[in-house]
């Protein structure tokens, strides 16, 4: 038998990870091409889960695996972003440097 996703804890984790990464709700709304931010707030409150497509986009944005965005029933909320952000931040910096070198 498998464990289901804990929507409440997943919402808390998503909110924490996005806040720590410096992304605003407005930015996430625009990034995901959402017409309004209500669905993001519903994710944060644990009322609904993001679609697989949105989870994929968020995982790419944060530089983590999709599974790292989810919390299963009975699991504590662990924030893998702190260790992953260092790698993600380096990747982001490298991509900015690459863009800048092409612009020069």
Does residue 2 belong to any structural domain of this protein?
no
CB atoms within 10 A of CB 13: 22
Does residue 99 belong to any structural domain of this protein?
yes
Does residue 32 belong to any structural domain of this protein?
yes
The number of distinct structural domains making up the chain is 1
Does residue 49 belong to any structural domain of this protein?
yes
Does residue 89 belong to any structural domain of this protein?
yes
Task: Tell me the whole-structure pTM to 2 decimals.
Answer: 0.74
Does residue 66 belong to any structural domain of this protein?
yes
Q: Where are the beta strands (DSSP E) in the chain?
A: none
Does residue 1 belong to any structural domain of this protein?
no
- pLDDT per position as a tens digit, 12-67: 999 999 999 999 999 999 999 999 999 999 999 999 999 999 999 999 999 899 99
């Amino acid at each position: 038998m498998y464990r289901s996703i804990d929507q409440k804890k997943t919402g808390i984790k998503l909110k924490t990870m996005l806040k720590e990464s410096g992304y605003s709700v407005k930015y996430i709304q625009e990034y995901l091409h959402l017409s309004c931010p209500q669905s993001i707030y519903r994710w944060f409150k644990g009322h609904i889960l993001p679609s697989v497509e949105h989870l994929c986009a968020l995982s790419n944005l944060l530089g983590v695996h999709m599974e790292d965005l989810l919390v299963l029933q009975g699991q504590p909320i662990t924030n893998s972003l702190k260790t992953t952000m260092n790698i993600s931040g380096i990747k982001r910096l490298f991509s900015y440097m690459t863009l800048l070198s092409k612009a020069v």
